[in-house]
Amino acid sequence: MMNTCKVFDADVVVCGGGCAGFTAGVAAARAGKRTILLELRESLGGLFTNGYITGAAGCVDGIGKEFYERMNRNGDAMMNPHSPVIEPERGKVMMEQMLLQAGCRILYGTHVVDCVVEDGKIKKVIAYCKSGKIEVTGRVFIDATGDADLAMAAGVPCEVSSAEYCGLNASATMGFRLSYVNETKYREAEQSWKEKNDQTKHRNLIVAKEFEALENGDLPEVLSPGNIVFTIPTGRDRSSTDVTMDATHTFDCRCDDVVDLSRQIVDQHNKVLIFVDFLKKYVPGFEECVLTNLAPMNGVRDSRRIVGEYIFRDLDLASAQKFEDGIAQFCEPFDTHVPTPGFHTAIRHIHYKEPVATAICRPAQDCDNKMMHPFVAPDPDSYELRTDPREYCEIPYRSLVAKGVDNLLAVGRCYSAEFHAIGATRIIGTSMSMGQAAGTAASMAVDSGVALRDVDGKALKAQLIADGANLDKPPEGYWQEIREKKDGVPTVLANDIAVIL
């Protein structure tokens, strides 16, 4: 047994430095709390940077917005109205600088593995690093590991997947980075394909080409259901630039099992290489591309989630619920990547017994589709509910508060939510807002000495608004434009997303 060789102490201990842990650390430190962040890798950002998910969907607000503004000033962000993109290596450094400037201490290469709980409170976390075994004592702890590692160690009840999918996680997808892509040529080809095709058969040019390659025997199967090509701001000409993509899927995942996680990584390595060969041969603009990086972090969409004081429901999302303690806004579609093979896209709706006024509703279809619903068909008399693009919901603070432990919050993709709700709200914009809220709540709890469940959610919301968060009005920018399409008719597209036409 290794002896403890170093002991640290802080008011707020943040475990995990992904996008949610980053904003949590900045918020707590800026509020004047002695804050320490423990990160098992040697850089920050998690999936946002090390997973090459370089475009933040959702409402980018508060500290997240400030991060983007700083990146943009340096020429390291592409400020698209939806999903603004960052240069991931520079993003890691910007997060580091913002944390250090705020006064947050960072310990890299530090794996949180256990904790000591006394009288319903975490006293210290135990981590392993190059120094050996270390202990970090604190007043408030924030689990930003993405996998609820700390919460599990503390004995907080956790959930995985849903009954509907028999405990399987959403399919996993490893990101990758390509250089020498002629983006101009690719976008022109995509545009011309869209003008000639109505997207009812295939979602985009790359998918259509995948089917062609399959027929020619150049692909073993269709590997990607639809691709987002994120152009990385490198300062280079768009005729020879870098892009990141997350494309290929591994199914039947158990993301809390090391053997299965290793299988996923091997599978993704193989699939990405096949996919890149396909891109070079079939897709205009990719002929000269070179695979420069496989993401150092596997693309796990979901794994364990805490059970919190409130479990954010799938229905809350569809019905655009607002909460007195709403600390993050969400305004995107459902995005449940089906856990089992066959159904090659994400599910964009939930089933409910009756129509809901704020959702786009229609009587259930495709209930017997075994690929979409592999284990149990939904009630055929139910309704399909999709989010209305003109609406938004809020995530309540109580969903970050771990049940049964007084001083633990969970943020990002391991907060307390149902399966379809996590499949949607795990996105980077929302994760960053949750992180900021957790750091701020942690500071309030340290000041008042109350348990986190007793932090006044309304006062927290007011503090976040005072700190510049857009929580007192509907989301701005891209979503405001959609809302202003007043005469538009909500329509469900072939790819299952509700849009305003």
Ligand X SMILES: Cc1cc2nc3c(=O)[nH]c(=O)nc-3n(C[C@H](O)[C@H](O)[C@H](O)COP(=O)(O)OP(=O)(O)OC[C@H]3O[C@@H](n4cnc5c(N)ncnc54)[C@H](O)[C@@H]3O)c2cc1C
Residues of this chain that bind ligand X (CB under 6 A): 15-21, 38-41, 46-48, 51, 53, 55-58, 111-112, 144-147, 149, 173, 228, 246, 299-301, 412-413, 426-429, 431
End-to-end CA separation in angstroms for the chain? 64
* Listed residue (14, 28, 308) closest to 142, CA to CA: 14
| Structural tokens at position 330 | 């969400």
Residue 172: partners with Cβ closer than 8 Å, 6 or more residues away:
249, 250, 253, 255, 264, 268, 298, 299, 300, 301
How near is the Cβ of 125 to ligand X at its closest, in Å?
Answer: 9
| Structural tokens at position 418 | 């149902």
27, 440 contact by CB (below 8 A): yes
Q: How far is CA 440 from CA 407, 434, 464, 465, in A?
A: 13, 10, 8, 11
How near is the Cβ of 332 to ligand X at its closest, in Å?
Answer: 8
How near is the Cβ of 167 to ligand X at its closest, in Å?
Answer: 19
Nearer to ligand X, 241 or 431 (CB): 431
Query: 274 by DSSP, 3-state: which?
Result: helix
How near is the Cβ of 310 to ligand X at its closest, in Å?
Answer: 18
Nearer to ligand X, 230 or 352 (CB): 230
Nearer to ligand X, 144 or 500 (CB): 144
The type of residue at 482 is: I
How near is the Cβ of 111 to ligand X at its closest, in Å?
Answer: 5
Nearer to ligand X, 42 or 237 (CB): 42
What DSSP element (H or E) covers 206? helix 205-215
DSSP states of 312-329: B-HHHHHTT---TTEEEE
| Structural tokens at position 376 | 């149990």
Overall size of the chain counted in residues: 501
Nearer to ligand X, 61 or 384 (CB): 61
How near is the Cβ of 474 to ligand X at its closest, in Å?
Answer: 19
* Listed residue (95, 96, 68, 67) closest to 84, CA to CA: 68
How near is the Cβ of 170 to ligand X at its closest, in Å?
Answer: 8
Nearer to ligand X, 255 or 464 (CB): 255
Burial string for 246-255 (b: 16+ CB within 10 Å, else e) reads: bbbbbbebbb
- For residue 240, count CB atoms less than 10 angstroms from its CB and return exposed for 0-12, middle for 13-18, buried for 19 or more: middle
490, 482 contact by CB (below 8 A): no
The type of residue at 256 is: D
Nearer to ligand X, 173 or 345 (CB): 173
Nearer to ligand X, 268 or 361 (CB): 268
How near is the Cβ of 381 to ligand X at its closest, in Å?
Answer: 34
The type of residue at 497 is: I
* Listed residue (266, 196, 417) closest to 328, CA to CA: 417
Nearest-angstrom CA–CA distance, 420 and 418: 6
Using alpha carbons only, give the angle 473, 479, 484 rounded to the nearest 5 degrees. Answer: 90
How near is the Cβ of 283 to ligand X at its closest, in Å?
Answer: 19
Nearer to ligand X, 19 or 306 (CB): 19
Nearer to ligand X, 18 or 396 (CB): 18
How near is the Cβ of 52 to ligand X at its closest, in Å?
Answer: 9
How near is the Cβ of 216 to ligand X at its closest, in Å?
Answer: 27
Q: CA 56, 106, 8, 135 torsion: positive or negative? A: positive
Nearer to ligand X, 154 or 428 (CB): 428
Nearer to ligand X, 350 or 432 (CB): 432
How near is the Cβ of 424 to ligand X at its closest, in Å?
Answer: 10
